[in-house]
């Protein structure tokens, strides 16, 4: 028997029309790429998104066409998001930090018809514009006064198009399973692969992300997504904020400590989210300038493991509670969040930090399991570690155009490529990427655990651990360290610091110091490059073992 409830489709346009109706005066504040601060309301954003829908219609876009963006988090980018998805087009947010050849590849692979480009990225697109096969229009996200000299053919001015377009547009109804947006994985190995979200998956994911134990967004909040809209949908905040009626603060291109601090304070931000690199810059700024955070209550840290010292500093020194989160592009992106369970807030500090350093527990809707190499499920005892597998209504079923073939196991689980433990309380801890784990004498050593322990030293800015070939043990860990500016630390001091913090047999066989570490387009350590750089490295212990 079918239920007798209204089958209204879950559509992205409704997030913004809701905010424009019930929170019409709530603000969206953006730091523009041109430098100034822009401020308007949800009602105005929705009206301009309707104009954008008409602009696209006028440019010949048809239902289902893919429209690309190369843009920072600003109100204009937001209007393009809603103007495209809301009118049945697919919004393809492109990560401008990818190599130019990769960007050209994905624009062609996705068959983008129009590109919306921030001023900052015009020179980048000029480099490969002649290789783009299907792009019919280039729209520069600025006003007439700031239009650049460009070799892009017939470049259009966004503000002019919006001003000329009619606001008369009725957001259409259609099947909620229609594609809404597209985001490519960064493709650290091989070509990037497209993850194609639907209106339904986006709506359910955003509602869950707003839950109290997740981002907990409310109408009284002001939220600053520092994480870019081209990085897994800014973790869904530009969807969740209008759903909640929260004030939305967009940082534009200025992601340095001073600029982020400035917005946090002047806009009364209560919640913010980004990768650890951003928080490292903010914390260094706060320390140097002796500043405090007067309105911020919660910070979400994800994308890479949040170091213990970072969680501790936010909480103890600045009174901001940290929620460590894990997810991936293929998961829209949320999988787990580290909000404490009943009673844990009264635990002794170090025990509480142990839990907060884990990547968190599954939100409702995500099934998690860990398996061995044969696909057999491993116990949830917090000790066994294996391949982390996930299933749920906002997790990819396949990549765009069938790239990578069948990506699910026989029970519908997707292999995240992460290696993790699950504890009896449900908290998951990533111990490594499957390809980064160090295999020493048949046992696995977690490179992430070693890195986290090393960055706990006050003189260490960043650390990476990779496996180096060893004649006796197959692989042994090499610790690569970037010192903090003006700080000194020797190899011996580093190794001494690790004693007692890690299992004895995990102790790195050597330490090297470098000026900087390579990162991927989404700010993660680029281990493939490090392995390449150190492929001829001989560990001191290898010589002894060989003698
Ligand atoms: P990209 O490959 O484009 O950088 P994602 O942002 O989708 O893509 O990266 C997802 C991966 O990032 C996860 O599979 C995991 O390895 C890593 N990751 C995300 N959050 C965390 C976290 N809190 N701790 C450790 N690793 C994380």
Where does 185-245 show beta strands of DSSP type E? 194-198, 222-225
The whole-angstrom distance between residue 399's C-alpha and the CA centroid of its chain comes to: 18
Q: For atom 6 of ligand 1, which residue has the closest CA?
A: 328
Task: With 0.85 as the threshold, say if the pTM is over it.
Answer: yes
* Mean pLDDT, residues 237-251: 98
Question: DSSP 3-state assignment of 434?
Answer: coil
Helices (H) and strands (E) in the chain, counts: 17, 25
Handedness of CA 261, 267, 272, 275 (dihedral sign): negative
* Mean pLDDT, residues 194-210: 98
Q: Name the nearest CA neighbour of 420 among 369, 365, 481, 478.
A: 369
**pLDDT higher than threshold 90 for residue 490:** yes
Percent of the chain with pLDDT over 70: 99
CA of 193 to the centre of ligand 1 (A): 15
CA of 417 to the centre of ligand 1 (A): 10
DSSP string, 522-533: TS-B-HHHHHHH
- Predicted pLDDT at 312: 97
Ligand 1 touching residue 93 (CB < 6 A): no
Angle (CA) 8 13 18, round 5°: 85
CA of 302 to the centre of ligand 1 (A): 7
Instruction: Give the number of other CB atoms < 10 A from CB of residue 544.
Output: 11
**Which tens digit of pLDDT belongs to each residue from 377-394?**
999 999 998 999 999 999
CATH 3.30.300.30 positions along the chain are 436-546
Ligand 1 touching residue 418 (CB < 6 A): yes
Instruction: Let me know: does 124 contact 97? Beta carbons within 8 Å.
Output: no
CATH 3.40.50.12780 positions along the chain are 9-211
* Mean pLDDT, residues 417-425: 96
Which of the four pLDDT bands, split at 50, 70 and 90, describes residue 521? Answer: confident
* Mean pLDDT, residues 108-113: 98
CA of 48 to the centre of ligand 1 (A): 34
- Predicted pLDDT at 545: 61
- Predicted pLDDT at 443: 80
Residue with tokens 């050593």: 445
**Which tens digit of pLDDT belongs to each residue from 47-75?**
999 999 999 999 999 999 999 999 999 99
**pLDDT higher than threshold 60 for residue 134:** yes
Give the up-direction half-sphere exposure of residue 229: CA atoms within 13 A in the CB hemisphere: 29
Considering only the C-alpha atoms of the chain, give the largest distance between any 2 of them, rounded to a whole number of Å: 81
Which of the four pLDDT bands, split at 50, 70 and 90, describes residue 184? Answer: very high
Which of the four pLDDT bands, split at 50, 70 and 90, describes residue 98? Answer: confident
Rounded CA-CA distance 344/214 in Å is: 16
Catalytically active residues are 185, 330, 439, 444
Ligand 1 touching residue 13 (CB < 6 A): no
Residue 424 CB partners (closer than 8 Å, separation 6+): 380, 381, 382
Instruction: Give the number of other CB atoms < 10 A from CB of residue 477.
Output: 25
Q: For atom 1 of ligand 1, which residue has the closest CA?
A: 186
* Mean pLDDT, residues 72-94: 98
Q: Name the nearest CA neighbour of 293 among 261, 258, 246.
A: 261
- Predicted pLDDT at 543: 72
Instruction: Let me know: does 433 contact 304? Beta carbons within 8 Å.
Output: no
Residues pairing with 137 in the sheet: 114
**Does 333 sit behind a cis peptide bond, omega within 30 degrees of 0 on the bond before it?**
yes
**Which tens digit of pLDDT belongs to each residue from 289-330?**
999 999 999 999 999 889 899 999 999 999 999 999 999 999
Instruction: Report the residue among 233, 303, 331, 428 best suited for mutation to probe ligand 1: largest number of ligand atoms under 8 A from its CB.
Output: 303
Instruction: Report the residue among 327, 361, 414 best suited for mutation to probe ligand 1: largest number of ligand atoms under 8 A from its CB.
Output: 327
**Which tens digit of pLDDT belongs to each residue from 423-466?**
999 999 998 888 888 988 878 888 988 998 999 999 999 999 99
* Mean pLDDT, residues 339-364: 96
- Predicted pLDDT at 418: 94
**Cβ neighbourhood burial of 270 (10 Å; 0-12, 13-18, 19+):** buried
Average pLDDT, the chain: 95
**pLDDT higher than threshold 90 for residue 274:** yes
- Predicted pLDDT at 440: 87
Tokens of 390: 């996930």
- Predicted pLDDT at 31: 98
**Which tens digit of pLDDT belongs to each residue from 523-535?**
788 898 999 999 9
CA of 504 to the centre of ligand 1 (A): 28
The helix-helix angle for 13-22 and 199-209 (nearest 10°) equals 50
Four-way CATH pick for 436-546: 3.30.300.30, 3.40.50.2000, 3.30.1490.20, 3.20.20.70: 3.30.300.30
Ligand 1 touching residue 339 (CB < 6 A): no
**pLDDT higher than threshold 90 for residue 190:** no
Homologous superfamily (CATH) of 9-211 is ANL, N-terminal domain (3.40.50.12780)
Q: For atom 10 of ligand 1, which residue has the closest CA?
A: 328
Instruction: Let me know: does 338 contact 371? Beta carbons within 8 Å.
Output: no
Tokens of 13: 């346009």
Instruction: Give the number of other CB atoms < 10 A from CB of residue 496.
Output: 11
Rounded CA-CA distance 148/153 in Å is: 13
Question: DSSP 3-state assignment of 269?
Answer: coil
Instruction: Let me know: does 493 contact 481? Beta carbons within 8 Å.
Output: no
Question: CA distances (Å), 379 to each of 70, 95, 197, 386, 420, in order?
Answer: 44, 38, 32, 10, 11
Tokens of 155: 């470049």
- Predicted pLDDT at 547: 55
Atom of ligand 1 nearest to the CA of 324: 23
- Predicted pLDDT at 528: 87
Ligand 1 touching residue 198 (CB < 6 A): no
Tokens of 501: 């913090």
Residues in the chain: 547
- Predicted pLDDT at 223: 98
Rounded CA-CA distance 76/118 in Å is: 9
* Mean pLDDT, residues 364-379: 95
Instruction: Give the number of other CB atoms < 10 A from CB of residue 308.
Output: 18
- Predicted pLDDT at 432: 86
Q: For atom 9 of ligand 1, which residue has the closest CA?
A: 328
Give, rounded to a whole angstrom, the gap between the first and last alpha carbons of the chain: 76
Rounded CA-CA distance 298/325 in Å is: 12
Q: Name the nearest CA neighbour of 445 among 503, 486, 392.
A: 503
Q: Name the nearest CA neighbour of 546 among 495, 448, 481, 471.
A: 471
Instruction: Report the residue among 304, 311, 419 best suited for mutation to probe ligand 1: largest number of ligand atoms under 8 A from its CB.
Output: 304
């Amino acid at each position: 028997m079918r239920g007798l409830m209204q089958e209204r489709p879950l559509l992205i346009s409704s997030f913004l029309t809701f905010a424009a109706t019930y929170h019409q005066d709530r603000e969206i504040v953006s730091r523009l790429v041109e430098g100034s601060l822009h401020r308007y309301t949800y009602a105005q954003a929705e009206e301009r998104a309707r104009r954008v829908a008409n602009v696209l219609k006028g440019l010949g876009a048809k239902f289902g066409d893919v429209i690309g963006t190369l843009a920072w988090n600003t109100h204009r980018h937001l209007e393009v998001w809603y103007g495209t998805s809301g009118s049945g087009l697919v919004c393809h947010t492109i990560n401008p930090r990818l190599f130019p050849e990769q960007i050209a590849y994905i624009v062609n692979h996705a068959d983008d018809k129009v590109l919306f480009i921030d001023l900052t990225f015009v020179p980048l697109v000029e480099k490969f514009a002649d290789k783009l096969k299907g792009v019919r229009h280039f729209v520069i996200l600025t006003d007439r006064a700031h239009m650049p000299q460009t070799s892009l053919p017939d470049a259009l001015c966004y503000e002019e198009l919006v001003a000329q377009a009619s606001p008369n547009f009725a957001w259409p109804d259609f099947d909620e399973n229609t594609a809404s947006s597209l985001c490519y994985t960064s493709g650290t190995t091989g070509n990037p692969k497209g993850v194609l979200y639907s209106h339904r998956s986006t709506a359910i994911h955003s509602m869950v992300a707003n839950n109290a134990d997740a981002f907990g967004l409310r109408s009284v909040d002001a939220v600053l997504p520092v994480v870019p809209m081209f990085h897994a949908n800014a973790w869904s905040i530009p969807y969740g904020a209008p759903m909640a009626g929260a004030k939305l603060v967009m940082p534009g291109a200025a992601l340095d400590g001073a600029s982020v601090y400035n917005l946090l304070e002047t806009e009364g931000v209560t919640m913010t989210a980004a990768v650890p690199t951003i928080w490292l810059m903010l914390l260094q700024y706060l320390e140097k300038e002796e500043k405090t955070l007067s309105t911020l209550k919660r910070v979400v840290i994800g994308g890479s493991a949040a170091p213990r010292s970072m969680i501790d500093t936010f909480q103890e020194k600045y009174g901001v509670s940290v929620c460590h989160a894990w997810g991936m592009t293929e998961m829209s992106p949320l999988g787990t969040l580290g909000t404490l369970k009943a009673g844990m807030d009264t635990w002794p500090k170090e025990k509480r930090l142990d839990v907060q350093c884990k990547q968190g527990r599954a939100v409702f809707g995500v099934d998690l399991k860990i398996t061995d190499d044969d696909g057999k499920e491993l116990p949830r005892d917090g000790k066994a570690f294996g391949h982390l597998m996930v299933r749920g209504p906002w997790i990819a079923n396949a990549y765009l155009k069938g790239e990578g073939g069948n990506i699910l196991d026989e029970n519908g689980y997707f292999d995240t490529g992460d290696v993790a433990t699950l504890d009896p309380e449900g908290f998951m801890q990533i111990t490594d990427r499957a390809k980064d784990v160090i295999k020493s004498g048949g046992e696995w050593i977690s490179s992430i655990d070693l890195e986290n322990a090393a960055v706990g030293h006050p003189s260490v800015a960043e650390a990476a651990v990779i496996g180096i070939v060893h004649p006796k043990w197959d692989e042994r860990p090499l610790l690569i360290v970037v010192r903090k500016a003006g700080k000194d630390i020797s190899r011996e001091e580093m190794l001494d610091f690790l004693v007692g913090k890690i299992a004895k047999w995990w102790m790195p066989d050597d330490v090297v110091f470098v000026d900087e570490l390579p990162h991927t387009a989404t700010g993660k350590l680029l281990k493939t490059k490090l392995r390449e750089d150190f492929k001829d490295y001989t560990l001191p212990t290898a010589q002894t073992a060989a003698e």
